[in-house]
Amino acid sequence: MFESRYLPATAIHAGAWRDAQGFAAMDYAKRKIPIALVVGDRDAFFGGRRSHRDGECSEAKGFDVAVTIIKGHDHNYYVQAGRSTRNYGVS
């Protein structure tokens, strides 16, 4: 959020706003960049319900948010890295 003026968008794998103070960082964004949240339905740290909640709260602040839940996936990004990045047009 603090670097939003330099980024066209952001994608977060297996992450979430940890608390209200962290979520307040969105107020510092210079631009309302699109956000992609990608999480596995078996992630022990950040589950799908939490990602949907964070997406809804981010949309309420004016951000365009896409939440993707990967079935059978846990917190290990490296297992999904190639497929996840291809889904967002990154090579």
Give the domain range for residue 35.
Answer: 10-87
Domain presence at residue 44: yes
Comparison of pLDDT for 87 and 74, the residue scoring more:
74
| 77-90 pLDDT per residue, tens | 777 666 666 666 55
Residue 49 lies in a domain: yes
- The answer to whether the beta carbons of residues 40 and 74 sit under 8 Å apart is yes
**Is residue 33 within 8 Å of 4, Cβ to Cβ?**
yes
Give the CATH number of the domain where residue 14 resides: 3.40.50.1820
Counted domains in the chain: 1
Q: What pTM, to 2 d.p., does this model score?
A: 0.76
